[in-house]
A = this chain, B = another copy of it.
Amino acid sequence: MAVQQRSTVRDGRGNKLETYVLTHFKPVWTIIQLIPPVRKRVNKILINRVIYKIPTRPYPLSTMAAYTSWDSLTDRTFTGRHLPPATEQANELPAIDAVIQLFERQSKTVRVSPKSTLLFSHFAQWFTDGFLRTDRENYLKNTSNHEIDLCQVYGLTRAHTHLLRTHRRGMLKSQVVHGEEYPCYYYGPDGTASTEFAGLPIVVPPDVDPAKKATLFAMGVERANVQTGYVMMNTLFLREHNRICGELAHAHPDWDDERLFQTARNIAMVLLIKIVVNEYINHIAPYHFKFRFDATSFVKERWYRQNWMSLEFSLVYRWHGLVPDRFRLGGQDFPAEETMFNNAIVTERGLGGLFEDASAQPAGEIGLFNTPHFLLDTERASIELSRLTHLRSYNEYRRLCNYPRVTAFDQITGNRDVQIALEQTYGHVDNIEFYVGLMAEDLRPGSAVAPLIGRLVGIDAFSQALTNPLLSEHVFNERTFSSTGLKIIKRTTSLSDILHRNLPDSKRKYRVSMTRSDSA
């Protein structure tokens, strides 16, 4: 495609300055990060700057109604929203089929991300499936617990958790395959769901053949078997949970199964949040300053409010462009479809190898014209959701987020083909739908995502992660985690840390990175 320089005249002076400062003066940022009290203070200031870009929770509105009611303020089965629905009927919106064409991957091979590996893609999909959970029966509703609660591993309800536990020494049910620990198989040898997991809602598409079905695991949420990347993340946290139980049981021989389980879960959840801040968000952001997990510095912020996933956040996170057409695993190429609902690949490769493979292959680039064919129906669902909820336009969301409205297509992207396609589809920049505009923007230099995505992800990720009750003022302490737990939290800073303490061969080192080894 013909790529030129994007016009930055509508980026906003304050935004440009902020980005300039954060992506230059590397020596200054280095020094700042060498002085812990300064680093902590700057970390707090920058995280607050990220979050305060838009009004904070409670949201006045949810998908329940176009006005505020006691029901809408309290019923989190409806999804929050940052902007009220558009009032004028959007007669001038293009046909959905025309919009879907803007997403379809054009070339035979994926357009790759200059920065991200597949590990980033896997992590993003798995992580967000824990809280961005549109109810497939009713798009206005959700099945989310609205917290980073590792429901992917533990289940969405206490009843599901119950089925996944051994009820001995705090451990989750697991099995050993090829010398490594994995979740248990969900189906028995006869092809029907194992009675011990009756009630656990594991979803399998009807066309999955019996041999693959036999490899599926009993895990916390419906689609946990969807892809090798999801399964490998779940396996990692299952192993870590059981490993933590061992440490806790050793330190606290008097604790019963329940206390071991609950405390291990407390610790595992915080490990995830820490990795989200220290590894995942820093991969997304292009800044010299690296954000740091900080549990208790934000108690006086007015963004410190009960979590409530928003409609816009759920759209912002539909990064289908990340998914390549083929996955390279153990030196062999698998078509993407082959890696879905197929855990034999996982158990044959082993967890270390899976992480190394995911860290070696580039992810696709997030953006238009890069959605693999098998995810186009999901793009359709996204557009349908936008229209069902009368979502306001891309330009109105720019304004919400402190970006000036764009006035020409070349302010969104430098890619001439994308400009033309947008113009043909929407006629005027003001007509561009939120979801399409998000995905049409060029990536920020050095960032894994485009500017508006980056802003919205930052706002929601920080404000939802750091308000987790486990991080609150009187909870984030030794009483909640035990001194063993606090030590585990302290000494863990990356996925690599967790992986390497959960492998059968403790000597072998694997490369574990969301960032491409050849990125700038």
**What is A's interface to B at a CB cutoff of 8 Å?**
55-56, 58-60, 65, 67-75, 145, 147, 149, 154, 158, 258-259, 262-263, 265-266, 269, 299-302, 304-306, 469-470, 472-475, 477, 479-480
Contacts and interface: CB of A to CB of B under 8 A. Distances in A.
A93 B258 CA distance: 30
B474 A60 contact: yes
14 contacts: A55-B473, A58-B469, A60-B479, A60-B480, A65-B258, A67-B262, A68-B479, A70-B262, A73-B475, A74-B145, A74-B469, A300-B302, A302-B304, A306-B306
A474 B55 contact: yes
Contact of A60 (B68, B302, B475): B475
Contacts of A469: 58, 73-74
Contacts of A55: 473-474
A339 to B, nearest CB: 31
Contact of A56 (B58, B73, B470, B473): B473
Contact of A300 (B258, B300, B472): B300
Q: State the oligomeric state as a number of copies.
A: 2
B58 A474 contact: yes
B472 A259 contact: no
B475 A269 contact: no
Given A68-B262, A72-B262, 9 more contacts: A60-B475, A68-B479, A69-B263, A69-B265, A70-B262, A70-B266, A74-B147, A302-B304, A302-B473
Contacts of A145: 74
A242 to B, nearest CB: 17
Contacts of A65: 258-259, 262
A422 B69 CA distance: 50
B73 A470 contact: yes
Contacts of A306: 306
Contacts of A149: 70, 74
A261 B302 CA distance: 30
B302 A475 contact: no
Report the 7 A-B pairs with minimum CB-CB distance, sorted nearest first. Answer: A69-B262, A299-B302, A73-B469, A68-B480, A306-B306, A58-B472, A60-B475
